[in-house]
Amino acid sequence: KLLYHLEKEEQMPDGMCIDAEGKLWVACIDGGRIIRIDPETGKRIQTVKLPTPRITSCCFGGKDYSEMYVTSAYDGLDEATLAREPHAGEIFKITGLGVKGIPQNFYAA
């Protein structure tokens, strides 16, 4: 079942996570953002733009899971692109989203 059709500027989905309200957060690689989608309605309800385009994954953390950590990539970028994208490959911490994540499930190895 198709849940959401990405807009052109959102590019391609990569890593994802779920918040405590059951909403889906999607890292948009080459889109420079993460988006929050309501899986019931299929509507995008929040967008957080980041200072580099290659956003790869997102997860909630911190004491009460109110912080979001977002990874980005720099692999495959040439020197000229890296000069234009100095934040490529960094990890970002986002606060103030107004939602919290849920604890991760641990599995025995």
Structure tokens that stand for 68 in this block: 């979001």
Size of the chain in residues: 109
**Is 14 a residue of the active site?**
yes
Question: What CATH number should be reported for the domain whose range is 8-95?
Answer: 2.40.10.500
Local confidence pLDDT in tens for the 109 residues of the chain: 888 999 999 999 999 999 999 999 999 999 999 999 999 999 999 999 999 999 999 999 999 999 999 999 988 888 898 888 899 999 999 999 999 999 888 887 7
- Residues within the annotated binding site? 14
- Residues within the annotated binding site for a divalent metal cation? 14
Domain ranges in the chain are 8-95
Torsion angle of alpha carbons 85, 87, 99, 43, nearest 10°?
A: 20
Helix (H, G, I), strand (E, B) or coil at 9: helix
Q: What is the pTM of this model?
A: 0.90
The pLDDT value given to residue 46: 97
Q: How far apart are CA 27 and CA 11, in angstroms?
A: 10
The pLDDT value given to residue 76: 81
Q: Is-contact 99 23, C-beta < 8 A?
A: yes
